[in-house]
């Protein structure tokens, strides 16, 4: 079965500092991994995904994520946080192995708060 964990409910960071939002996953085969962002009173927006290839994936708004197979992680990062990055961030995984589902599984979300 596929599962994903976002171990932090909330992450606080000062504007201009680097930020990391953590995501770990569990799959039986290879994963497809996704990050989405949700601003207040909006739907989720796609940020980036890892399908295959380079472990470092670059996405929208200056975000990037690193696929680490040995640690089963896909942490979201940004070198310099902006106040406007404050939002709810969701990690999602799809397992390509025999125990997987065609439908991605979403984490519970991490609230990122960037302080001026």
Query: How many separate helices (H) and strands (E) can be counted in the chain?
Result: 0, 12
Q: How far is the CB of 59 from another protein (least distance, A)?
A: 10
b (16+ CB within 10 A) / e for 2-11: bebbbeeeeb
Annotate each residue in 10-49 with x if it binds another protein (CB under 8 A) or - if it does not, as one string.
----------------------x-x-x-----xxxxx--x
- Cβ proximity to another protein: between 78 and 94 the closer is 94
Q: Which of 8, 66, 72, 106 binds another protein (CB under 8 A)?
A: 106
């Amino acid at each position: 079965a596929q599962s994903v964990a976002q171990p932090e409910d909330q992450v606080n960071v000062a504007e201009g500092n680097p930020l990391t939002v953590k995501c770990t996953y569990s799959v039986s085969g290879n994963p497809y991994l996704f990050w989405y962002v949700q601003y207040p009173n909006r739907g989720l927006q796609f940020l980036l995904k890892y399908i295959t290839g380079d472990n470092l994936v670059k996405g929208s708004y200056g975000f990037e994520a690193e696929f680490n197979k040995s640690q089963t992680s896909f942490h979201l990062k940004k070198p310099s946080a902006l106040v406007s990055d404050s939002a709810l961030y969701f990690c999602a995984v799809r397992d390509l192995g025999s125990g997987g589902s065609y439908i991605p599984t979403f984490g519970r979300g991490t609230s990122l708060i960037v302080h001026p």
